[in-house]
Amino acid sequence: MKYSSVAKGVAFSLAATVMAFGATNIARAEVPSWCGPKKATLALLDGYGGNSWRQVTTASGKQTVELCPNITKYEYADGQGDTQKSISDIKSMAAKGVDALVVFGDAGPAVLPAITSVFKAGKVIVPYRVNVGGKEGTNYSKFIGSSFVDDGESWGNWIKSILPKGGNLLFLSGPAGNSQGLDELKGMKNVLGPEYVFVNQAPFAVTNWDPALTQKVLTAEIAKNAKIDVIVSDFGPSLVGALPLFSKQGKSIPALATSDGNSLGCFWNENQATNPDFKLFTVATGNDNVRLAVQWAVALATKGVPPKDEVFKAPAFENSVTGQPKAVQCRKDLPGAIYLSSELPAEDQAKAVGK
């Protein structure tokens, strides 16, 4: 269930219940079904929490926890990109007696032994988004993945709609071998034929999702490839600093198939008129993946009703060609480092990223 749906439902229920039943029933009306009757504590753990995407995601996770009054204590830890600290954080939270842990396992299988030890100690532990290996029921309580293959298929279908006869594609993803990029590539290849040529080194150009490295990689790819029809990236805002390179070389910025971000939407609005090839399609960047993971952890820890969904599906968000489901979004009054596809209100995101 989406936060906005719960919030609206709560507001309606509050108004009706105040008149009819009194305070006791108000409390009952606020509780989502995944929040059960048992009291529990919960911790959210990041392997790396230092960028705006994680800050918005962390705020979204905390907001979801707050919908369940039977979570009596909430804690957060940031591994700061240090695998050993991430492992220590997982073990420390369990040792402190926290009942349920939701883990963004940036280090992948390296954190699986710690996750497994916590699970075998009787805790609820739910890794999400990044594949850490292992099996549900053996190494952890539940894994909540994301439909990256679907993202790739969405990008592929849009590319076919604007380039029906094929073209040259440049695919940028994060660290070498990351499962997200591999799944996205699988999705694109599910719908794109051999007339669509990936000009990057297989399986994707490595950027580590770092804007500085993205600019360096994109500079090199532009120099190597005279014709790039579409850039595909799973972190759209990281492209913004590099895209002016096309204009400096007298070329139009090519079409982009990527994920959303306020900085990217505003950049498109400011530059699309002078770049005739600059079309934009985005999927939701996925901050709300954490909400589903938290709901599962809370349900298992408090004896609530688990959500029906087991995989987070990022919907299509913007399409500059059709305007469906949305035209390209831009909030110039707010920081670029927020994500308008997120359920967390834009103003709350601005506070989360400290601007």
Residues 6+ apart with CB under 8 A from 99: 40, 41, 42, 123, 124, 301
Domains 40-142+287-314+340-354 and 148-283 equal at CATH topology level: yes
The pLDDT value recorded for residue 29 is 53
- CATH code of the domain made up of 148-283: 3.40.50.2300
pLDDT class of 354 with cuts at 50, 70, 90: confident
State mean pLDDT over 285-301.
97
Q: What is the mean predicted confidence (pLDDT) over 68-73?
A: 98
Q: What is the pLDDT of residue 51?
A: 84
Q: For residue 43, which of 100, 89, 117, 112 has the smallest C-alpha distance?
A: 100
Q: What is the pLDDT of residue 17?
A: 33
pLDDT of residue 245: 87
Q: State what percent of residues in the chain have pLDDT above 90.
A: 78
pLDDT at site 1: 44
pLDDT tier at 192, thresholds 50, 70, 90: very high
What are the structural domain ranges in the chain? Answer: 40-142+287-314+340-354, 148-283
**What percentage of the chain exceeds 70 in pLDDT?**
92
Mean pLDDT throughout 28-56? Answer: 90
Confidence of residue 16 (pLDDT cuts 50, 70, 90): very low
Q: What is the pLDDT of residue 8?
A: 43
Mark out the alpha helices in the chain (DSSP H runs). Answer: 3-20, 23-30, 52-65, 83-95, 112-120, 148-162, 179-191, 211-224, 244-248, 262-271, 289-302, 346-352
Query: 244-267 as b/e, with b when 16 or more CB fall inside 10 Å?
Result: ebbeeeeeebbbbbbbbbbbbbbb
- Characterise 161 by phi-psi region: left (phi > 0), alpha (psi -120 to 50), beta (else): alpha
State pLDDT tens for residues 155-175: 999 999 999 999 999 999 988
Mind listing the pLDDT tens digit for each residue in 146-157? Answer: 999 999 999 999
User: What is 40-142+287-314+340-354's CATH topology?
Assistant: Rossmann fold (3.40.50)
Among 22, 293, 32, CA closest to 142: 293
DSSP state of 76: E
